[in-house]
Structure 1
Amino acid sequence: MTEEKQKKKLSKYSFKVPHVFALMFFIILIAVALTYIVPAGEFDRVEDPNTGRTLVVEGTYEKVAQNPVGIIDIPGLIITGIKEASDIILFLFVVGGSFRIITSTGAFDAGIRAVTSKLGNKDILIIPLLLLIFAICGATVGMTIEAVGLVPLLIAFARSMKYDAITGMAIVFMGCFCGFIAGLMNPFTVGVAQQIAGLPTFSGMWLRAIIMVVLIIVSSLYIIRYAKKVKADPTKSLVYDLEQKQRENTETINTPSKLQVKHYLIILTFMAGIGLLIWGVITKHWYLEQMAALFLAMGIIAGIFAGFSSTRIAEEFVEGAKSVTLGALIVGIAMAITVALKEGQIIDSLINGMAGIIMILPDFLKVISIYLFQGVINFFISSGSGQASVTMPIMVPLGELVGITRQTTVLSFHLGDGFTNLIYPTGSTLMAYLATAGIGYDKWVRFIWPLVAILLVIGAVFVVFAHIIQY
């Protein structure tokens, strides 16, 4: 058999991954189908006078009239999802456009060349160092979506070391989430959950510190292994086509070999902007609207320092915004999944049903079940603080009935919630990162699923350990 015939035969039986829009549509169909299968129901909710948060009342679940979502309603769900994600979508367009202006100045390329030339053969050590820095941000101020603006910079840095876009994105994304998941002082998960559980804020930090160290080590080794493989053979990259396209585009750009005065001014502008971003997030509680305005200002100022005309700045911004259109729309479409479940009034039913299953399991399986339960619920409620407000009032008394400490229940919550954020398509943060990086969801899944499996096992070990020592 000739080589050409062999290729045709293989292609005949090979599976082609559907377009990400098609994949999202299939998941929406499943969510719609569930509104016909799962009984509708809801818990009573009350407002906590101390925090103003709306909490469910344990033991108040009641069935309500079925409210299934029709197939003809799906277009409306998608539009609603895009509307609810409009702040994230706007943020992505602004970040994409602004970073296009900055990168087109050549300042990043010249600066990265200067740094990598000094690293020599020790460049691989930069990966765990950066993961540690981002992890500290994730562990203290809960930084995740806030760091999406750094993705283009880290991708450029990774490419300069002959790695690829996945390596660059993974450094930022996994770094932030190693800290966010461990949650030393994460106000959005551990802070809210401990408050609901009646525990001192950020108590039990010693075990979470150990968990963060383990997560950083495991994630660093995983990313380094992949990065070395790509460096040795670029065709091993999961985004080889993207890298080839990027290489063709950059070959026509004349990047200066040495840093010029304008490059120093642009880099200083960027560093000052990131410093202002951190200050604003920590002290002024900035979110997407304020961060988008900051990145827009950074892009315009960088363009002025580069000597660009107003027309050139506008054209670069539009090109950058166009490059994230696909990913930005995916964020909105993914939000339609949650919208379907809410309109069908089945999220509370799913929570109540899973809690009932946990109660009939043997005691030694209950702690693991609570941990896995949070991972499942995270698909439907991607907000960490939102999930805590819904599940903690149910899980805390359930755990105490079978001898699981409140601290262990909180640990099960933020680990179960956290690891699945790395792979679930309903997570707007993941989709925002992929949109900014220009990486397909299917490519990311192929890269991340072994690491997620490893981390889930590690999380289970820590949860069981916590239960054994009555943490």
Structure 2
Amino acid sequence: MQPKNSIRRKPAFPDGMLIVLGVIILCVIVTWFIPSGQYDRILDASGRQIVDPNSFHYIESEKISLLRIPHFIVEGTIAQAEMIFFLLTIGGCYEIVMHTGVLQAIIARMAKWKVRDMAFILVFTLVFAVIAAPAGGVVSFIGFAPIFVMIARAMGYDALVGVSLVLLGGAVGAAAGPITPFTTGVAQGIAELPLYSGLSYRIICMLVLWIVTALFIARYAKKVRLDPSKSYVYDLEQVQKNQEVEKHYDTDLSAQQIAILVIFILGLCLIIYGSLRLNWGNRVHMQIYLCMSVILAIVGKFNPNETVRVFVRGAKGMLAAALVLGLSRSISMILDEALVLDTVIYGCAAILNGLPTLLRGPAMLIANTVVNVFIISGSGQAAAVMPVFIPVADLVGLTRQTAVLAFNFGDGFSNWILPHSAPLMGFIGATSISYGKWFKYFWKLFLLWNALAMALLFIAQLMNYGPF
């Protein structure tokens, strides 16, 4: 018999790295049963490689052995080297800023503000949604996540609220994609639609998703503020509280701290501007973070050894997320080598053909979500699926504009629940939130987003969303 005083512990949610390893093994096994197939690729008028929708054919390929998993993990990690180093530089730069005490002083001052919960959440989720709408991605916002986590904690919330303001706000803008070049722009180009046509309805979709998302965050935030033990990351909050309990931060900023703050804000603004206007990628962002780290250390009067120690300490905090990124890249490499991605796309298109007309918009959303499990990249997914789904839309009575909107939603939502999504792991890694805690918090909103998206697609069908 079990002793009366024994404590039965709940089984722990698997670590994100274990989940990705499980997905890797599952993908290898699945490739044994999905026949290999391929579409022919052709060049369109602009010279971009797209799929010929009428060219699908089955082909012979060798089955992938489980013994090759270590090979894919190594190759995947090498392929993700740029993203991994990107996270390490963000972690190092942010730790240098933290070491100066300037952010802590600002947060201590903000903690004294009397701000309405709903207004605070509405404003900042909208800000990040609007910024992400033309950018199409939120990776460049990762540097903001730890800052907003500190702000949320100062106001009585937890880390999930802080990261949600940045991540989910930006996700809404990117998913609706009003003027996003990498998703909407690419998809409309393949669909031969006028660039950014149908803008007004996509803005309406973004506003609907923004309000629902802000209400979801506010509801959780209010619950945590009234009873901190209701937080999904209560253990993490206790650890952070214990680490901060002996510290006191003066709310008066010195001239040196003001200079550090100005440099840091200008650096982040430069990254956003470069992403929106100059098409800068992660490599340029990394250079800015490295330069900022050196400049901030000089202004903060760190000696060289102290600068290195602090930077490395921050980079270490990103190591777990960086390793998961390496593992996740191996998934797409396995599917590419097994030549099953095109078979999945072909199967989704065949199912769409057999559904009633009014269900085809929502079904196309589901199909794009399925494909996004295998192709995380938005522009990559557009190039792979739109040449197939556009002819399907023509045949089954969907407007091409509705097909583009279904693609936007399918690509934009699932990136924030898949354990092998690089942007997601970057955000939660930067804020020390485990994937299990994030999943427990986010899955209801994920289902709600998809339900709303299906309703919006249904309306798009009824109004013959166009121009065609």
TM-score (norm. length: structure 2): 0.96
Structure 2: gaps (5+ residues):
none
Q: Distance in 1 between matches of 2:175 and 2:277?
A: 22
Corresponding position of 1:79: 74
Q: Would you say how many aligned residue pairs link Structure 1 and Structure 2?
A: 465
2:53 corresponds to which residue? 58
Conserved in 1, the CA contact under 8 Å of 2:19 and 2:419? no
- The residue identity in structure 2 corresponding to 1:455 is W
Give deviations 1:59-107, integer Å, cap 9, x for gaps.
1011111222111100111111111211110000010011001011110
The structure with the largest helix share of the pair is 1
SS across alignment from 1:285 = coil
| Equivalent position of 1:5 in the other structure | 4
Report what 1:455 is aligned to.
Answer: 449
* Matched letter for residue 358 of structure 2: F
Q: Which one of 334, 337, 354 corresponds to residue 331 of structure 2?
A: 337
Which residue of structure 2 aligns with residue 164 of structure 1?
158
Q: Structure 2: how far apart are the matches of 1:195 and 1:7?
A: 64
Q: What secondary structure, in the 3-state scheme, does the structure 1 residue paired with 2:42 have?
A: strand
The AA in structure 2 aligned to 1:315 is R
- In terms of mean alpha carbon deviation, does 424-433 or 358-367 score higher? 358-367
Q: Which runs of 5+ in 1 are unaligned?
A: none
106-115 or 451-460: bigger deviation: 106-115
* In structure 2, C-alpha distance between the alignment counterparts of 1:310 and 1:140, rounded to whole Å: 40
The alignment status of 1:46 with 2:42, answered yes or no, reads yes
Alignment of structure 1 residues 59-208 onto 2, 5 Å: 59-117=54-112, 119-122=113-116, 124-208=118-202
Shift of 1:124: 4.7
1:327–1:438 Cα contact (<8 Å) kept: no
What does the per-residue CA deviation read over 1:169-196, in whole Å, with 9 as the maximum and x for residues that have no partner? 1110011111001111011111111110
Q: How many Å separate the matches in 1 of 2:431 and 2:355?
A: 43
1:418 lines up with 2:417 in the alignment: no
* TM-score normalised by structure 1 residue count: 0.95
Alignment correspondent of 2:388: 394
Partner of 2:348: 354
Distance, in Å, in 2 between the alignment partners of 1:99 and 1:459 is 36
Tell me the residue number matched to 2:220.
Answer: 226
Q: Which amino acid aligns with 1:426?
A: H
Alpha-carbon shift at residue 446 of structure 1 (Å): 0.4
Compare 105-114 and 55-64 and name the one that shifted more: 105-114
1:262 aligns with 2:277: no
Structure 1 contact 116–123 (Cα < 8 Å) conserved? no
How much identity, in percent, do the aligned residues show? 34
Q: Given that residues 128 and 166 in structure 2 are in contact (C-alpha distance below 8 angstroms), is that contact kept between their aligned partners in structure 1?
A: yes
Cα deviations by residue, 1:191-214 (Å, 9 ceiling, x for unpaired):
111110000011011111111111
Amino acid at match of 1:21: M
Looking at structure 2, the residues matched to 235 and 416 of structure 1 have their Cα atoms a distance apart, in angstroms, of 34
SS at match of 2:410: helix
Aligned residue identity for 2:290: L
Q: Give me the whole-angstrom Cα distance separating, in 2, the residues matched to 1:85 and 1:5.
A: 50
Question: Counterparts of 1:182 and 1:343 in 2: how far apart (Å)?
Answer: 32
For residues 23-57 of structure 1, what are the alpha-carbon distances to aligned partners after superposition, in whole Å with 9 as ceiling and x for unaligned? 1111111100111100011110012341x422110
Would the aligned equivalents of 2:358 and 2:461 in 1 still touch at CA under 8 Å?
no
* Alpha-carbon distance in 1 for matches of 2:103, 2:118: 19
Taking only aligned residues, the RMSD between alpha carbons, in angstroms, comes to 1.7
- How big is the shift at 1:326? 0.5
2:432, 2:115 → 1: CA distance? 29
| Counterpart position of 2:12 | 16
